Amino acid sequence: MSKQQTSCIWNYFDISTQDNSKAICKLCKLTLSQGGKDTKSFNTTNLVGHLRCKHATAFTNFRRESKEKQESEAKQLTATIPREPRPATIEAVIDRRQRFEFNDQRALDWNKTIAEFMALDVQPFSVVDNVGFRRIIAKAEPRYQMPSGKYFSSTLIPQMHATIKNKIREMVSAQPSVSFTSDVWSDPSSCVALLSLTAHWITDDFQRKQVILAASPLEESHTGDYLGGMLLNILADYNIEKSATHVLLRDSGANMIKATRVADIDSISCVAHTMQLVINDSIMSQRAVKDVLAISRSIVGKFRHSVLAQQRLSSLQESLGVPKKKLVQDVQTRWNATLAMLKSLVEQKQVLGAYATEYELPNLSANQWMLINHIIDTLAPFEDATKEVSDSQTSISVVLPMLSMLRRLLDRKHTMSEGIMTMRKEMLTSLNKRFVCTKENRKIVLATILDPRFKNLAFDDAELAANAKQWLQEDCIHVVLVSTERSKEVMEPQ
């Protein structure tokens, strides 16, 4: 574009497509000359004169636009010219050395930033007393006087909590349907017990959202009635109507089951927790397995409680070319931790054998090592399934396909010992018993058939697939009827 064409006059004219020396007025479509036949002689005099004589209002706008453009270009040019630094005034020097007043906006901004740092990074209130942290703040802003930890704990953090809670209350109470997860957390060492409640919903653009509503301290016996009352209080605090509660995910404890009944909330048992019960019913209850686990814990315990033993183990790992890893100590209430312990023992089997030739170490027989391998093979699919259902993006639509897969694996014929096959049969029996109500759960079934990955292929039998289709049709009819009734209410005169 030429220099002339950058003029504001071109907001009112177009260049002729047939002859570029001509311009066409956008207002009256008159063709005017640009002042010559070649680009060097082009000018906008005729065009400006036409606006002045024929279109007075447009001419006034053109002059205003040209003036604004000139002023803008002048400012840009001035900004690109380096300026000589001005000497600091006495007032500026004093201001840089003077401490902020407590209510100074700059001090308040720093207070808010540090409070957010504590909340987001789960820092203790005493962090403001740490020498290193105070040095960083003093280096960043020497004029800022940091308040005490008590000020943050009693004033700023509660204010921040109230603000965020109000925002969450507005978001959650506006949702037409909300699901929940809840559990009781306890720490005997600190005599603290909490009831957590997390809300989950889907936005209009199908984005999954979740937010923790409460972690309320429990001050009475954890009965179903007490927990149910606590749940109702939390829902009331966030203005969540009963009609908006979709389903609550809980463990299989009798008190939590009763709590959801007291709160009148539809609930589903946690699949991962139920799977823990299945494994405890079958594998972990076997005498041979208990003996293997007892010896395995003794082996791991020797290296966990002896620095010299761990150092010698690391030396043997390096000399034998085995990955330098510590043995995993299991937690008896978590089967996946027990599985991790057995895996770590198998991985370090060669090193443990070398260590046992030099030092005393609990011994596992060849049959027991074989049993450990079979336990790992049996539990590995359950570990994968647990990770799948525990993922934050997982839907309950995976439950039925996952259970179907586990049943087929447990029912498969293997060239294993009779004891291992018996253990797998007991595991399958417990799986079917613990999850017997899954196929009758309308929410799980409908979620499965609506999932495009599964549809009706995830059902083990034709009767369940037929029930799923019937339930889906019934729900669709219900949605149509409700929508029709609402439309009638809107259309009826008040």
List b or e across 246-271, with b for residues whose CB sees 16 or more CB atoms inside 10 angstroms: bbbbbbebebbebbbebbebebbbbb
Structure confidence at residue 158 (pLDDT): 94
Structure tokens at 89: 């005034």
Domain at 179-269, CATH class: alpha beta
Give 304-337 pLDDT, tens digit per residue.
Answer: 899 999 999 999 999 999 888 899 988 877 888 8
Rg, the chain, Cα only: 37
Q: Which residues contact 325 (CB under 8 A, 6 or more apart)?
A: 317, 344, 347, 348
Give 121-143 pLDDT, tens digit per residue.
Answer: 999 999 999 999 999 999 999 99
Name 198's bridge partners: 181, 212
Distance CA(235)–CA(215), nearest Å, equals: 13
Structure confidence at residue 79 (pLDDT): 67
pLDDT above 90 covers a percentage of the chain that reads 37
Q: Where are the domains of the chain?
A: 4-80, 94-164, 179-269, 276-394
Strand bridging mode 13-15 / 22-25: antiparallel
Q: Which residues contact 290 (CB under 8 A, 6 or more apart)?
A: 284
pTM: 0.69
Q: Say if residue 94's pLDDT is above 70.
A: no
Give 16-71 pLDDT, tens digit per residue.
Answer: 888 888 889 988 888 888 877 777 778 888 888 888 888 888 888 888 888 888 88
Structure confidence at residue 1 (pLDDT): 46
Give 437-455 pLDDT, tens digit per residue.
Answer: 888 888 888 888 898 888 8
Q: What is the 3-state secondary structure (H, E, C) of the chain?
A: CCCHHHCHHHHCEEECCCCCCEEEECCCCCEEECCCCCHHHCCCHHHHHHHHHHCHHHHHHHHHHHHHHHHHHHHHHHHHCCCCCCCCCHHHHHHHHCCCCCCCHHHHHHHHHHHHHHHHCCCCHHHHHCHHHHHHHHHHCCCCCCCCHHHHHHHHHHHHHHHHHHHHHHHHHCCCCEEEEEEEEEECCCCEEEEEEEEEEECCCCCEEEEEEEEEECCCCCCHHHHHHHHHHHHHHCCCCHHHEEEEEECCCHHHHHHHHHCCCCEEECHHHHHHHHHHHCHHHCHHHHHHHHHHHHHHHHHHCCHHHHHHHHHHHHHHCCCCCCCCCCECCEHHHHHHHHHHHHHCHHHHHHHHCCCCCCCCCHHHHHHHHHHHHHHHHHHHHHHHHHCCCCCHHHHHHHHHHHHHHHHCCCCCCHHHHHHHHHHHHHHHHHCCCHHHCHHHHHHHHHCCCCHHHHCCCHHHHHHHHHHHHHHHHHHHHHHHHHHHHHHCCC
Q: Say if residue 190's pLDDT is above 50.
A: yes
Distance CA(336)–CA(276), nearest Å, equals: 9
Highest mean pLDDT among 73-77, 135-139, 418-422, 458-462 belongs to 135-139
How far from the centroid of its chain's Cα atoms is residue 169's Cα? 19
List b or e across 415-445, with b for residues whose CB sees 16 or more CB atoms inside 10 angstroms: eeeeebeebbebbbebbeebbeebbebeebb
Q: Which residues contact 203 (CB under 8 A, 6 or more apart)?
A: 209
Average pLDDT of the segment spanning 241-257: 90
Structure confidence at residue 60 (pLDDT): 87
Give 136-176 pLDDT, tens digit per residue.
Answer: 999 999 999 999 999 999 999 999 999 999 999 999 999 98
Name 268's bridge partners: 249
CB atoms within 10 A of CB 387: 12
Q: Say if residue 233's pLDDT is above 90.
A: yes
Structure confidence at residue 310 (pLDDT): 92
Q: In what order do the strands lie in the sheet with 208-217?
A: 208-217, 192-202, 178-187, 245-250, 267-269
Contact 35, 45 (CB under 8 A): yes
Distance CA(82)–CA(85), nearest Å, equals: 9
Highest mean pLDDT among 257-261, 393-397, 427-431 belongs to 257-261
Give 336-394 pLDDT, tens digit per residue.
Answer: 888 999 999 999 999 999 999 999 898 899 989 998 998 898 889 999 998 888 888 88
Q: Say if residue 200's pLDDT is above 60.
A: yes
Q: Say if residue 188's pLDDT is above 80.
A: no
Give residue for tokens 């179903």.
224
Confidence of residue 3 (pLDDT cuts 50, 70, 90): very low
Q: Which residues contact 111 (CB under 8 A, 6 or more apart)?
A: 147, 151, 152, 156
Give residue for tokens 């009609």.
243
Distance CA(444)–CA(67), nearest Å, equals: 69
Q: Say if residue 178's pLDDT is above 50.
A: yes
- Report in angstroms the alpha-carbon separations of 475 from 228, 264, 446, 482, 483: 29, 21, 9, 10, 12
Query: Letter for the amino acid at 476?
Result: C
pLDDT above 70 covers a percentage of the chain that reads 92
Average pLDDT of the segment spanning 183-205: 87
Of 130 and 7, more confident: 130
Average pLDDT of the segment spanning 270-291: 85
Q: Say if residue 489's pLDDT is above 70.
A: no
Highest mean pLDDT among 294-298, 407-411, 480-484 belongs to 294-298
Distance CA(444)–CA(266), nearest Å, equals: 12
Structure confidence at residue 129 (pLDDT): 92
